[in-house]
Amino acid sequence: MVVSMGIEQSSSPDESDESLLQGCLQGQHRCFRQLYRRHERKVRSTLYQLCGGDSLDDLVQEVFLRAWKGLAKFRQASRFSTWLYRIAINVAFDRRRSLAVGRWCSTSASPEQLIAVAEAAPASAPHEGLMDIHYRDLVQRGLAQLSADRRAAIVLHDLEELPQKEVAEILGVPVGTVKSRLFHARAAMRQFLESQGVEL
Amino acid sequence: MTRSESERDDRLLVTFLKQHQPVPPPPAVDLEARLFAQIAGDRPCRKQRTLPYFGMALVVALLGVSGMWVLGRQPRAALSAAERQDIETALMQSWTIAIDRDIDATVNPIASADIVSTNNGSEASVWDTTAFYADPASPPTTDP
């Protein structure tokens, strides 16, 4: 258990998000640290699927900074994780605007990155072969060709396993729109993978 | 493609995507420390004060009320005593003329009607259209 300020009490790992939020509003950093450690991995993964590896740490930091600053405005009508995902999506969209690219942030791995992953693979995942690395790159490239809206829908629903209702809440659209975006995103992904010789 | 086939295809695709989804690189070792260094000594932003919004709402409401008051006012022209006297005189004259005509019409309705003379010297009422048919070429003249 990490106690950041010395005078702050330690928090229980199973403390609910709501009670940690109350602690945050009283200025207790250890509560926010707990929330950070609880949700950082999901936020990081989502941002990576949406924006790739460039400046990923900065983006994650930006999400949690915005969350900290906006905690007082969080009305708890939705879950904290939903709210945090929403911030992450906004950060990703802002990132896209700042890059001013026609498509979404590029996530396609460079050859150097692929080599680095392949070299690191035996240590991190001994069962992982070159085909796995190849498929992973294909998924990255397939996601990169999607529009921002469709990509966000498929990442949140199919990869992060959030229910459609929550995805709709995060994206601020009706559930029907999420279903439509998922349909088109999957169709595009399937077509791309098949064009690359992948048989599903 | 049937619905079940479509669902099966979706399941296969989602399974493939999950199995091969890009894995983010691990965070920098000092990322957490950097984040908490930024918020150290800081508290979450308090809710924005409601006073400015309340003040703005009050100003808008006051503007609205005063606007309605201005629009609702009836135009009242300020008249001088002489103008009032002129108006009163004009009104009295028009009333007098109207009353005189009413009296004439009541006492002798035929006399009050316009009398026209035909070119043969007889007089006829404008309503007596047969008088004109005698000589349509001569225009009727009004008695002085």
Of the candidates A4, A40, A190, the beta carbon closest to that of B13 is on A190
Tell me the pairing of strands B141-142 and B123-125.
unpaired
Strand partners, A181: none
Contacts of B9 in chain A (CB under 8 A): 190, 200
CA–CA distance, A92 with B18 (Å, rounded to integer): 21
- pLDDT band, residue B39 (cuts 50/70/90): confident
Q: Calculate the alpha carbon distances from B81 to A144, B75, B86, B93, B134 in Å.
A: 87, 19, 9, 18, 59
Give the angle B19-B24-B27 at the CA atoms, nearest 5°: 145
Mark yes or no for CB contact A107/B28 under 8 Å. no
Of the candidates A45, A71, A135, the beta carbon closest to that of B44 is on A71
The pLDDT of residue A26: 84
> Is A30:A17 a contact under the CB 8 Å cutoff?
no
Mark yes or no for CB contact B18/A158 under 8 Å. yes
ipTM of the complex, rounded to two decimals: 0.77
The angle, 0 to 180 degrees and rounded to 10, between the axes of the packed helices A80-99 and A29-51 is 50
Contacts of B36 in chain A (CB under 8 A): 4, 29, 32-33
The pLDDT of residue B34: 92
Which of A128-142, A155-169, B23-37 is the least confident region? A128-142
Q: Mean pLDDT over residues A152-163, rounded? A: 95
The string of pLDDT tens digits covering residues B70-95 is 777 655 566 788 888 888 888 888 88
The pLDDT of residue B61: 82
The pLDDT of residue B134: 44
Edge-to-edge order in the sheet of strand B115-117: B123-125, B115-117, B141-142
Q: Is the pLDDT of residue B118 over 70?
A: no
Q: Is the pLDDT of residue B107 over 70?
A: no
User: Which residues, 6+ apart, have CB-to-CB distance to A140 below 8 Å?
Assistant: A52, A107, A108, A109, B22
- Give the global pTM: 0.61
Contacts of B10 in chain A (CB under 8 A): 186
